Amino acid sequence: MGSIVGEKYRIERIVASGGMGTVYAAVNSWTQRPVALKFPLARRGDRGTLSDTAVERFLREARAASRIEHPNVVTVFDLGRDRDGEVFLVQELLDGETLAQRLTHDGPLSLETARALLLPAMDALCEAHRQGVVHRDLKPENLFIARRGDPVP
């Protein structure tokens, strides 16, 4: 932690790590804006490197996501490469939990809560489809419930 990526993003902590990659909380040292840095699969400390095909897929998906402007879609700010040539995505840093986490600690959702969470998500998917973007991995782990203003029931 504390290392600088892309000449301006200071990594502060790991936010999440999974089969597709790792997300770090970072700060843009120029603007002081908190951001999330997402690295695909192989990352610091890993010995493997991404294939050219995997890198191109990551960049293609990041570019597609950056076209979607919707209040229920995370904002993509930038793409870059670190000193080692690893690609990364710079996006809005959200505070909250995934739908999977919510289900784990609260159990099944009430109809009211399900409606409050899923209708905005469906609206975001409609916007993505209007932009020609298809989400290929829609599941509770990939739906994020951000803490912003009004609490969800």
List active site positions: 137
Q: ∠ CA(135), CA(138), CA(140), 5° rounding?
A: 150
Specify the amino acid at residue 16.
A
DSSP-assigned letters across all residues of 45-82: T------HHHHHHHHHHHHHHHT---TTSPPEEEEEE-
- According to DSSP, the residues that pair with 92 across neighbouring strands are 35
